[in-house]
Amino acid sequence: MSELDQTLPIDEAPYQRRIRSFVLRQGRLTKGQERALQTAWPQFGIEYAAQPLDLDQAFARSESKKILEIGFGMGDATAKIAQTLPDYDFLAVEVHTPGVGSLLKLMQEGDIQNIRIIQHDAVEVLQQMLADGSLDGVHIFFPDPWHKKRHHKRRLIQAEFVKLLCSKLKAGAYIHVATDWQEYAEWVLEVLRAEPQLQNTAADYAEKPAYRPLTKFENRGLKLGHGVWDLVFRRV
């Protein structure tokens, strides 16, 4: 990695012009995360490459449903869901190294086999690595809301991004977004509703699907009376 890469967020490096939904900060790794990265990445990590990925091969089985999770953070929800749904395979994409280390550690502790991790911008993973019609579902839990108006262009959920997602979904596959920021919930609802390839499974917001665990942060917010909005749409 060059000195420039280490000091500048990826989206501010002069050769990277596309607006990104994340800012890369240097996070410190715990010893446990570092150990998990060294010992578990070779088995469960997939290096980003601008070439198609065979999902059946990556998970060493073809009969399972394939779910993409974008921006798993520290991976707590990912690990819990994967444990609850052993017949599903989860391709988990995140840019932050401590998060990747954290999820690998959870996988080792729980002997979880049905997750593979790519550490890269999910937009490029979708564009370059995933075949059309290859996914049974997409999870996007608490995407960065980018509160300020001048930052709204950084929001992950945009019409063009949703079109890209739809191209990767099988007919009947779902997109599940959860957010705790009401204005972003309204934004997501509007963007998903405007996409003709998608159908809402609810009148507007959905009941929280049982597989999505409550995070510590969410629990605290709910006790304080803050809302959380789930949106579940299906590809027609």
Ligand X SMILES: C[S@@+](CC[C@H](N)C(=O)[O-])C[C@H]1O[C@@H](n2cnc3c(N)ncnc32)[C@H](O)[C@@H]1O
Q: Note whether 22 binds ligand X by CB under 6 A.
A: yes
- Is 180 annotated to bind a ligand? Reply is yes
Cβ closer to ligand X: 122 or 192? 122
User: Which residue of the chain is nearest ligand X when measured via CB?
Assistant: 71
- Report the nearest approach of ligand X to the CB of residue 191 (Å): 16
Supply the Cα-derived Rg of the chain in whole angstroms.
17
132 among the known binding-site residues?
Answer: no
- Of 5, 56, 144, 204, the active-site residue reads 144
Among 90, 142, 146, 174, binds ligand X (CB under 6 A): 142
Q: C-beta of 179: minimal distance to ligand X in Å?
A: 9
- Span from 30-38, 56-64, 121-129, 183-191 in contact with ligand X (CB under 6 A): 121-129
CB of 76 to ligand X, least distance (A): 7
Consecutive H or E run containing 230: strand 229-235
Q: Which of 144, 152, 195, 213 binds ligand X (CB under 6 A)?
A: 144
Cα dist from 140 to 20, 29, 43, 51, 123, whole Å: 16, 24, 24, 23, 13
| Three-state helix/strand/coil letters over 170-214 | EEEEEEEEEECCHHHHHHHHHHHHCCCCEEECCCCCECCCCCCCC
Nearer to ligand X, 114 or 215 (CB): 215
User: Binding site annotation covers 80?
Assistant: no
Determine if residue 183 is left, alpha or beta; phi over 0 gives left, psi from -120 to 50 gives alpha, anything else beta.
alpha
Q: In the structure encoding, which two tokens stand for residue 39, read together?
A: 């010992």
Q: Any catalytic annotation for residue 144?
A: yes
Task: Go through the chain and tell me how many residues it has.
Answer: 236
Residue 153, annotated as binding a ligand: no
- What are the beta bridge partners of residue 189? none
Answer for which of 53, 95, 138, 192 binds ligand X (CB under 6 A) is 95
Among 121, 155, 205, 233, indicate the residue that binds ligand X (CB under 6 A): 121
Closest CA to 138 of 164, 173, 94: 173
- The runs of H, that is alpha helices, within the chain are 3-7, 31-44, 55-59, 76-84, 97-110, 122-128, 159-168, 182-193, 216-223
Size of the site for ligand X (CB under 6 A): 21
Choose which of 37, 40, 55, 71 interacts with ligand X (CB under 6 A): 71
Smallest gap, in angstroms, from Cβ of residue 54 to ligand X?
Answer: 21
Binding site for ligand X (CB under 6 A): 21-22, 70-73, 77, 93-96, 99, 121-123, 141-144, 156, 215
Question: What positions carry a catalytic annotation?
Answer: 144
